[in-house]
Amino acid sequence: MKKAIVIGVLLLTFILAGCSGEKPGDAISKITIEPYTMNEQESLLVSKTGVGHIEYFKLNGTLGEEEDLEMSVEVYENGKFKEELLKTWGALDKKYKDSLISFGMSEFQGEDDSVKSLKLISGIPSGLSTTNYSTNMTAYSFGNLIGDKITMKKNEPVYLAVWAGTTKNELRSIGSINGELPEGIGEYETALLYKVVWTSKDKEQQ
């Protein structure tokens, strides 16, 4: 009798699993991202590193086996896309719990006094990526582009932070709330946008 009950329970389990269309152990993909505000001690530590500006963000959620997080810095000139820098993939892990990513920069004087060299720093869950970028902008702004937690959508970019520069006398505001491409980007001669995309591995290889 007990054996029959056990067999019945197992059959019911397999039937329910088949109806749901899911296999045991399947993970539901979902990724959220939100700003991370440093406390006083953390800010003090960062100030000792020589990084002039930096923004941090927290990742939470689970990726599927064929999914990844792509991070990069997009360069715009007069509102038009020019190139992509620091393109990396972050998914050595498939699960994120308060995992930190960041975008920051340090400023150095170039060989020509009119040209500055920016060291761009992208912090990803698996490490750090850097590159240098030269600019002759005389004024700039740097800031966060999301105000609260965002649930990411597949293959839709989320812009997290921006550095925008100009050689003009006035500095117009630039920003967004939910990580969309910010309005006013065309008012700047140069803009560097830190971007994250939840994507598929097969899409990356195309």
pLDDT digits (tens, 9 = 90+) for 24-65: 344 578 999 999 999 999 999 988 888 889 999 999 999 988
Residue 190: how many other CB atoms lie within 10 Å: 19
Q: Above 60 in pLDDT, residue 108?
A: yes
What whole-number distance in Å separates Cα of residue 44 and Cα of residue 167? Answer: 31
Helix, strand, coil abundance in the chain, percent, nearest 5 = 15, 50, 35
Q: How far apart are CA 7 and CA 5, in angstroms?
A: 5
Q: Which amino acid is at 43?
A: S
Residue that wins the pLDDT comparison between 172 and 59: 59
Taking a C-beta distance cutoff of 8 angstroms, is the pair 31, 142 a contact?
A: no
**Lowest-confidence segment of 15-29, 58-72, 81-95 by average pLDDT:** 15-29
For 194, list phi and psi in degrees, rounded to 5.
-85, 125
Given this model, what pLDDT does residue 17 score? 43
